[in-house]
Structure 1
Amino acid sequence: MKKLILTLAVSSISGQVLASDNVTFTPEQEAKIGEIAAQYLVDHPEFLIKASQKLQQKQLEEQANAQKAAVLANKNILLNDKETPFIGPKTAKVNVIEFFDYQCIYCYRISSTIESLQKQYPNVRFIFKETPIFGSRWEPSKYAAQVGLEAFAQKGSSGYEHYHNGIYSTGLNEGKLTKEVVEAQAKQAGVDLSQFKPTENYQRNLQLFSQLGFKGTPALIVMPTDGATTSNTYVINGADVAALTNAIRTLSK
């Protein structure tokens, strides 16, 4: 297209169609070529739109590849951190890792889907990275994460599942979740709060969240336990139910 524009521009200036690419233009010709090229793009903005779309797609692909590379570099901490709550078999061949905040409305909206997928794919391990990104805005965000880690430490996967799903069942998020509600759900899950000593272990998840290039929650990763590569590792930014379901289905075949 650039060659066509230049040819047309020079033809309009010289009255000739040029057969050779080895052409030297005078300053006046270059100025005229610029004017014609600029006007052509004004008259045909679809070329600019197409170029912009290609650039955006390239940037998204580069971002996705960078995130996947970061995921693979941090595979061990993603899959094998003993303090991180999980639901499903330890020996699972497929893993779903979710970075989430109980105060996040989008995490709430996808929570029922994740709960359903756990039942649909009992051989998949679901790993929950407590990541209270709203902690500086809403204190219960951090408290819910701390209690979640305590629920797993005391009661294992079953107790954590009870607590985790219980918090979401309240429908409280975006600043509405309270310390009292968190404690009530913990007690229903069998957590002994008298033994609870709040820590900031969730800080490791916040750091990892940042290292992986995530900007918001939910942030999801679907990857195999063995033989993970950029081609069979899925990074999902946001509550994209279709992408999550497709990734699990693909790796579970």
Structure 2
Amino acid sequence: MASFRFLAPALLALALGGVPLPASAQSFNDTQRGDIESIVRNYLIAHPEVLEEAMTELSKRQSAAEAEKHEAGVSKNADAIFNSPRGVMLGNKDGDVTFVEFFDYNCGYCKRAMADMMELMKADPKLKVVLKEFPVLSAGSVEAAQVAVAVRMQDPTGKKYLDFHQKLLGGRGAADKARAMAVAKEVGLDMGKLEKDLASSEVKNTIEENFKLAEAMGMNGTPSYVIGKQVVIGAVGVDSLKEKIGIARCGKATC
């Protein structure tokens, strides 16, 4: 039987099945390959914890690779992420930390995350908040996002947009154009101008920009955030977001 040390480079490839073997292992004959498979099987049965250790290490490496991609995406696109006029600016426009949220009006987790955002703005007077429409869930989501962009176009201060945003995202039922337009009317927007702006290229360009930014940072769901150099995926809760803001502000969770 071939020695374990000599066969070690080929063990994992054989265990995974279908994974190409290293060149040094491809010269094994059928008997040797059978010996290797037997060694792998017996070892894993005797030491099943190795599989858990391997999966833990794999998860760590994948997380590190994702974090590297996130940070590279933020660095390359920082100006568009934090300062694009196509984002809705809320909170302290001159804040020392910028909190960017990508959201979908039909995202249940985004509804919960909206309360987190409002709490953060209220508690942190130095926080700048940027909202970016990222309609990934349905055609209705795209329609609602288009109306939201048109709302932003006639409300550069963001005050009516925030009212619109809270009512549409916090309301019941699916969001689509009809519902978004009804909310826009409710908050007192100019409906004629809204219809005109909906047909403008700015609406299409804004949503396309948001999708490109999300793709560059490896985002594929909502809510997703950019806080400093950090990309945060999912509704992680207000306490976790506060920690990320602290890290962006002073390098630690609590300044």
TM-score norm. by structure 1 comes to: 0.77
Give the structure 2 partner of residue 238 of structure 1: 234
Partner of 1:84: 87
Aligned residue number for residue 159 of structure 2: 158
- Larger CA Rg, structure 1 vs 2: 1
Cα distance in 2 for partners of 1:61, 1:96 equals 22
Once the 2 structures are TM-superposed, how far is the Cα of residue 153 of structure 1 from its aligned partner? Answer: 2.2
Q: Which residue of 1 aligns with 2:56?
A: 53
Q: What is residue 204 of structure 2 aligned with on the other side?
A: 200
Runs of 5+ consecutive residues of structure 1 not aligned to the other structure: 8-26, 224-232
Residue 216 of structure 1 aligns with which residue?
221
For the Cα contact (< 8 Å) 2:223–2:234, is it kept in 1?
yes
Secondary structure of the residue aligned to 2:154 is helix
2:124 equivalent in structure 1: 121
Distance 1:30 1:152, change over 3 A: closer
Letter in 2 for 1:145: A
Corresponding residue for residue 108 of structure 2? 105
Q: Greater helix percent: which structure?
A: 2
Gaps spanning 5+ residues in structure 2: where?
Answer: 7-28, 250-254
Contact 2:142/2:176, CA 8 A, preserved across alignment: no
> What do you get for the CA RMSD once the two structures are aligned?
2.4
- Give the drift of 1:97: 0.7
1:177 and 1:244 mapped to 2: Cα distance? Answer: 26
- CA distance in 2 between counterparts of 1:207 and 1:86 reads 19
Q: For residue 227 of structure 1, what is the aligned residue in structure 2?
A: none
Distance in 2, matches of 1:30 and 1:104, equals 51
Deviations 1:52-103 (A, max 9, x none): 2101211111111111111111001011111211211221110111111101
Work out whether residues 103 and 224 of structure 2, in 8 Å CA contact, stay in contact via their aligned partners in 1. Answer: yes
Alignment: residue pair count: 217
**What secondary structure is seen at the aligned counterpart in 1 of 2:87?**
coil
Look up the equivalent residue of 2:149 and give its one-letter code: L
Q: How does 1:30-69 map to 2 (within 5 A)?
A: 35-69=38-72
Query: Which letter maps to 1:248?
Result: I
Tell me which amino acid in the other structure corresponds to 1:83: R
| TM, length-normalised to structure 2 | 0.76
Matched, 1:146 2:151: no
**Percent identity for Structure 1 against Structure 2:** 28
| Structure 1 residue runs of 4 or more that deviate by more than 6 Å after TM superposition | 27-31
Shift, 1:117, TM fit: 1.2
Q: Is the 8 A contact 1:6 1:33 kept in 2?
A: no
| 2:113–2:235 contact (8 Å) kept in structure 1 | yes
Q: Secondary structure at the match of 2:181?
A: helix
Contact 2:143 2:177 in 1 (8 A): yes
